[in-house]
């Protein structure tokens, strides 16, 4: 998958570079090919956390809990990059780095929610109780995602954020690089989640091996 991702990144860079420049926003509009795909990656990460948590509550298998951790960490990475690219686009479009627009505010809240999830997992001793609490937390947190998507429709004129993209809403020549951006960052998301999940599984296996070795050593004494 790493080789596929490397090729896609090259195609992605070429597509964005050669995409037409927006007549109104200028070159800053090309963040469109990065910012929304990052948002989708963040959403996916948090959905994976909810799926992993629900599977853990259902089956009780620790690998599902580790999948939830991987999803949250990759989701926070994507969400962080989204919060970085958003103000850059806002500065070029609205003339200011930040506005307490409903979607921006709710996105920041989501970032804090899942950052708290990661901190919970990092500073706790682990175990079934922590995993179950984190699973429920992840399931509740994911409810913010549909709200974040439709918050523009709910607030209507009170939101200065652009409307959600629909078929035909992109200008001529902009659809191709946008699709390439979404595919590339989706593959990047999968790659990172799978690698992070693999690391968590290897870490758990190593911990079990170490514990078994120590137990055998104590019995030998």
* Element (DSSP H or E) covering residue 130: helix 128-141
Query: Does 20 reside within a domain?
Result: no
Query: Does 18 reside within a domain?
Result: no
Query: Does 15 reside within a domain?
Result: no
Query: Does 85 reside within a domain?
Result: yes
CB neighbourhood size of 204 (10 A):
15
Query: Does 70 reside within a domain?
Result: yes
Q: What is the mean pLDDT of the chain?
A: 85
pLDDT of residue 137: 94
pLDDT at 33 over 60: yes
3-state secondary structure of 74: helix
Across 36-57, average pLDDT: 95
Query: Does 122 reside within a domain?
Result: yes
Alpha-carbon span 99 to 106, nearest angstrom: 12
List of residues 6+ apart from 219 with CB closer than 8 A: none
List of residues 6+ apart from 200 with CB closer than 8 A: 66, 69, 70
Do 38 and 182 meet the contact criterion of CB atoms below 8 Å apart?
Answer: no
pLDDT at 148 over 90: no
21 secondary structure, DSSP code:
P
**Based on the structure, what is the number of domains in the chain?**
1
pLDDT in tens, 160-172: 565 555 555 566 7
Q: pLDDT tier at 216 (50, 70, 90 boundaries)?
A: very low
CA-to-CA dists, residue 212 to 61, 63, 118, 125, 206, angstroms: 20, 19, 28, 19, 10
Tell me which residue has tokens 């998507």: 149
Q: pLDDT tier at 189 (50, 70, 90 boundaries)?
A: very high
Q: pLDDT tier at 48 (50, 70, 90 boundaries)?
A: very high
pLDDT in tens, 72-129: 999 999 999 999 998 888 887 777 887 777 888 889 999 999 999 999 888 877 788 8
Do 217 and 95 meet the contact criterion of CB atoms below 8 Å apart?
Answer: no
Query: Does 157 reside within a domain?
Result: yes
pLDDT of residue 20: 86
What is the span of the domain harbouring residue 191? Answer: 2-8+29-212
pLDDT of residue 80: 96
Query: Does 195 reside within a domain?
Result: yes
Query: Structure pTM?
Result: 0.86
């Amino acid at each position: 998958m790493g080789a596929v991702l490397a090729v896609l990144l090259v195609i992605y860079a070429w597509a964005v570079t050669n995409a037409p420049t927006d007549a109104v926003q200028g070159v800053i509009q090309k963040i469109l090919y990065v910012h929304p795909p990052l948002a989708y990656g963040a959403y996916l990460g948090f959905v994976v956390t909810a799926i992993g948590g629900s599977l853990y509550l259902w089956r009780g298998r620790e690998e599902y809990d580790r999948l939830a951790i991987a999803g949250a960490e990759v989701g926070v990475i994507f969400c962080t990059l989204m919060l970085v690219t958003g103000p850059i686009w806002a500065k070029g479009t609205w003339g200011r780095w930040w506005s307490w627009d409903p979607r921006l505010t709710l996105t920041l809240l989501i970032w804090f929610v899942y950052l708290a999830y990661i901190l919970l997992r990092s500073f706790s001793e682990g175990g079934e109780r922590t995993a179950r609490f984190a699973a429920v937390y992840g399931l509740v947190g994911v409810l913010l995602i549909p709200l974040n998507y439709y918050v523009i429709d709910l607030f209507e004129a009170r939101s200065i954020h652009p409307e959600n993209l629909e078929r035909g809403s992109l200008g001529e020549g902009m659809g191709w690089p946008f699709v390439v951006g979404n595919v590339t960052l989706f593959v990047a998301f999968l790659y990172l989640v799978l690698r992070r999940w693999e690391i968590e599984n290897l870490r758990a296996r190593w911990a079990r091996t170490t514990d078994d070795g120590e137990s055998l050593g104590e019995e030998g004494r």
